[in-house]
Structure 1
Amino acid sequence: MKKVWKKRAVVGAVLLFVCAAVYMNWRYAGSLENTSKVLGESTLVSGENQPGGQTDAAPTQATAAEDDYFATARLSRKQARDNAISMLKDASVDENADQSVLNEASQTLQVLAAYTVAESQIENLVTAKGYADCVAFMGAESISVVVDDADGLDAKDVARIVDIVVQETGYTPDQIKVMES
């Protein structure tokens, strides 16, 4: 019986660490847009970012930073999920694992797969409504949706996005957080 609780504690700890990693990656990715460096940008040895001292590069860099936020957020989410799936698969092939632990690992894998599908569907539907970009972070009790809209989000936009999330997940509106990037 101690082995069962020990294995459940391991699976629970893995889930907790994965959720924490996804959150931390999301928060870190959000702080990237406040930096002056753009991922993939190179700086010349002389310290110039663009030869000739052109000043029209600022709007391009701001757009690139926003694009990088969404790409970085998706990549961070994928890496955290991949790590969790790898750990759960390792736990599920353990020869000494109890059947209940194997069942719990299998259920957790199914939940993570369902999150991935739902997040992707939400992102596709939100961008299909005309928003520039979107990234969703789904958890057991809530979901956060970050949207890029050039005109800014108003109450009508938030209601439209919340409606999409409710239809795709079954979460109640108070479990949904919509933010503008």
Structure 2
Amino acid sequence: MSKEELNDFELEQQTMIENENKTENENNDSLFDGENIVKENPDDKKDRKKRKKFIGTVVAFALVLAVGVVGNWYYENTDASSPIQPLLDSAAQKTLGKAELVDATTTVIEENSYFSSARVERQNSRDAALEKLQAVVDSADESEEAKKAASEKIAQISASISNENKIETLVCAKGVKNCIAVINEDSSRVDVIVDTDDLSDTLIMQIKDIAMAQTGCSFENVSIVQSSSQSNAQQSTDTE
């Protein structure tokens, strides 16, 4: 083979190699571009987002289901009445306390009944006396002196009724629960019956001052009596 032929052969071989390399590079570039197209395809991105969202939804549902199962187990294995029971016990104790107060309420009713009865009895006695005195005043057979004396007695009784009401009002204003005052015929003596838990020396002095101011009677002629239930309770306390 001549030198020229050898050179032509080498040139031809080199050209073939270059063509092969060029073809291979083009194929690689085409493959790389295809991968880029796949990565940058908007539809593929949307699909991936949908898949992620679906997976997130499934995970969230699984968590909710798990919490529900745990909550149901806790509810079934917990005594719901346990935190409420102390409140029920407290209510029962309050009801019991209210039942225990029945005796005290009965005592109060009896006490009020006593004062009411005493007022009615006092009023009936006064009404009867006023009726007799008024009969003397209206009688044509009675002397003028008798009629005058009867009229003075009527005025005295009316004044006593008014003074008794004033005493009772003023004494109750001192914190006494109930009170009844009884003034005798000539207004020389006053008896004051009081319903109070504590008949202190201060209260006694206040009641005496009220009675003396309304009637004009002396200090020693004002008698203060504590109602029987309160005095018995005080005696019981002193004994203990």
- The correspondence for 1:99, drawn from 144, 151, 156, is 144
Kindly provide the CA deviation profile for residues 68-112 of structure 1, in whole angstroms up to 9, marking residues without a partner as x: 111111111001000110111111111111000000000000000
Displaced runs of 4 or more, over 3 A: none
1:1-181 matched pairs, under 5 angstroms: 56-139=101-184, 140=186, 141-150=188-197, 152-181=198-227
Equivalent residues, number? 127
**Aligned partners of 1:56, 1:100: CA distance in 2, in Å?**
59
**Aligned partners of 1:174, 1:93: CA distance in 2, in Å?**
39
Kindly provide the CA deviation profile for residues 25-57 of structure 1, in whole angstroms up to 9, marking residues without a partner as x: xxxxxxxxxxxxxxxxxxxxxxxxxxxxx6542
TM-score, normalised with respect to structure 1: 0.68
TM-score, normalised with respect to structure 2: 0.51
**Aligned partners of 2:112, 2:132: CA distance in 1, in Å?**
31
Residue 118 of structure 1 aligns with an amino acid whose one-letter code is: N
**Aligned partners of 1:114, 1:83: CA distance in 2, in Å?**
16
Residue 121 of structure 2 aligns with an amino acid whose one-letter code is: S
* Identity between Structure 1 and Structure 2 (%): 27
Greater radius of gyration (CA) = 2
For residue 119 of structure 2, give the secondary structure of its aligned residue in structure 1.
Answer: helix
Alpha-carbon deviation of 1:130?
Answer: 1.4
Q: Aligned in 2, Cα 1:56/1:130: closer, same or farther, shift over 3 Å?
A: closer
**Aligned partners of 2:170, 2:179: CA distance in 1, in Å?**
9
For residue 180 of structure 2, give the secondary structure of its aligned residue in structure 1.
Answer: strand
Q: Aligned in 2, Cα 1:91/1:126: closer, same or farther, shift over 3 Å?
A: same
- RMSD of aligned Cα (Å): 1.1
Q: Could you say which residue in structure 1 is the equivalent of 2:235?
A: none
For residue 96 of structure 1, give the secondary structure of its aligned residue in structure 2.
Answer: coil
**Higher relative contact order, structure no. (Cα contacts within 8 Å, ≥ 6 residues apart):** 1
Q: Which structure features the higher share of helix residues? A: 2
